[in-house]
A and B are shown apart, each in its own frame.
Chain A
Amino acid sequence: MPNTINIPTPLRPFTDKKESVEVTGATVGELLADLTTRHDGLRKHLYTDEGRLRNFVNIYLNDEDIRYLQKEQTPVKAGDTLSIVPSVAGGVW
């Protein structure tokens, strides 16, 4: 059963403007791998050249930061939602 990944506004240009993407996998890492396979343009925004998640991109499984779970090895179950929460600038202008 697919899981949903919420795509934040700044990254939607790389998902054909889609707000969420359906992906499959058993862990957070697998869901993200499926996402970047479907939308290759996202890869450099999420991962460093060495394949590590960038540290200005936070991944939440439901309402919890995966850094405080088992990071990319965190298992996912049906109905879990993943959210990408990047830092966003914007305020005065």
Chain B
Amino acid sequence: MTPAAAATELSAEEIKRYSRHLIMPEVGIDGQRKLKESSVLCIGAGGLGSPAAMYLAAAGVGRIGVVDFDVVDFSNLQRQLLHGTSDVGRSKLASARSRINDINPHVQVDGYEVALSSENALELFKPYDVILDGTDNFPTRYLVNDACVLSGHKPNAYGSIFRFEGQASVFATKDGPCYRCLYPEPPPPGLVPSCAEGGVLGVLPGIIGVIQATETIKLMLGIGEPLIGRFMIYDALKMRFRELKLRKDPDCPVCGTHPTVTKLIDYEQFCGIVPEPQSTVVPVTGESEWEITSTRLKQRLDAGDKLFILDVREPNEYQINRIAGSTLIPLGELPRRYQELPKDQEIILQCKMGGRSQKALDFLRTVGFGKMKNLKGGILDWIDKVDPSQPKY
């Protein structure tokens, strides 16, 4: 999309490689040269970034940037095809680079092992024609959107996935809507569905990531009808696509006629995420009145304390691992089942990491339960400290 450098020639090897493109008049030699002169920045080398980057590389996009600072984990392999079993423990960037180079050595791969932030986004976006948003959280999503608009309307090939459902669109083009035209503000953290309802079907990002790659290529070639002003919703269970109309909102705070956001802001704060003094990565040590550590729980059980252990996860999670003797009542069922709990016994609440069980504890307090403790760090901490024989997820 940069002014056609007449010098961009395709080698004999490249002509062979791209022959199925070259014989289509919609691409042809000129289109293939355009792809070679074009660049895309993938935000994230995960579920969406994987298929997108691989297909864009194979298609002959000249320069692919990847922003990711994560390390490949076993739990990524179910859907993140850039990474293989032998890459577990390796940086996602290194793994992505070798995979992309293997698919197509003619691609220039730029790796950025950083967290995208308000400080670096505009600078990182500068050399690229299209931004491909494969992020999983609201602060980064708004950051990518705003940075695309503020970079002079860089197209944002957007995708998002949740369980069996995916969404895709192209945002922030000059005349099209941006993500904020659709959602001016993010949901407050408390109203985001809990991790109990999370998870994702492994093939889902394949569909959505390839839609993002398709739109990227169409933008680079200037062909077809781009997914601008349209919002695609895909339901894998029903195998159905729905399309909704999107409009550019003249009152949009970023791309409207009188924008109030003219530079990048603090997106964590914008999304209501207050940095917690003690995050989950901090080792679980101390206890408060309403908390108990795994080690202490083990001591008390060994000492014969009669404790009622309430697991508030979902049944499929309980199948993977559990504390012996615990009772399962999923958080969502608690409001109509709390009367099954003993009134005269101390209750230990527990989930995967401690978030849902904290909500359960807050709820049970409102209906009159008093002797309760939340297991800090949940079953994962229990497995780390007490029972390493059980699998983690």
Contact = CB atoms under 8 A, between A and B. Distances in A.
Contact of A9 (B49, B165, B185): B165
B183 A56 contact: yes
A44 B191 contact: yes
Contact of A91 (B161, B164, B243): B161
Interface stretch (A23-31, A70-78, A80-88): A80-88
Interface in A14-56: 44-45, 54-56
Contacts of B167: 88
Contacts of A13: 193, 197, 332
Contact of B159 (A12, A60, A65, A91): A91
B245 A64 contact: yes
A92 interface: yes
Contacts of A1: none
B216 interface: no
A74 to B, nearest CB: 14
A2 interface: no
A65 B136 contact: no
Interface stretch (B40-48, B53-61, B95-103, B300-308): B40-48
Interface string B161-178: 111110100000000000
Contact of A10 (B136, B162, B246): B162
Contacts of B160: 88-91
Interface string B185-198: 11100011100011
Nearest to B187: A56
A58 B193 CA distance: 16
Nearest to A64: B245
A3 B233 CA distance: 21
B244 interface: yes
Nearest to A93: B136
A93 B47 contact: yes
A10 B193 contact: yes
B386 interface: no
Contact of B162 (A54, A85, A90): A90
B337 interface: no
B236 to A, nearest CB: 10
B77 interface: no
Given A44-B191, A92-B47, A65 B134 contact: no
B247 interface: yes
Nearest to A16: B332
Contacts of B136: 89-93
Residue among B184, B242, B243 having the largest count of chain A Cβ atoms under 10 Å: B242
Contacts of A54: 187, 191
Interface of B: 44, 46-49, 70, 133-138, 141, 159-165, 167, 182-187, 191-193, 197-198, 200, 205, 231, 233, 242-247, 332
27 contacts: A9-B162, A9-B163, A9-B197, A10-B162, A10-B192, A12-B197, A45-B191, A55-B183, A63-B244, A68-B247, A83-B242, A86-B187, A87-B183, A87-B186, A88-B160, A88-B165, A89-B162, A89-B192, A90-B160, A90-B198, A90-B200, A91-B46, A91-B134, A91-B136, A92-B136, A93-B47, A93-B136
Given A45-B191, A90-B200, 9 more contacts: A9-B162, A9-B165, A10-B197, A54-B187, A55-B183, A68-B247, A89-B162, A90-B136, A91-B134
Closest 7 CB pairs of A and B: A92-B46, A91-B136, A92-B136, A10-B193, A90-B162, A56-B187, A87-B183
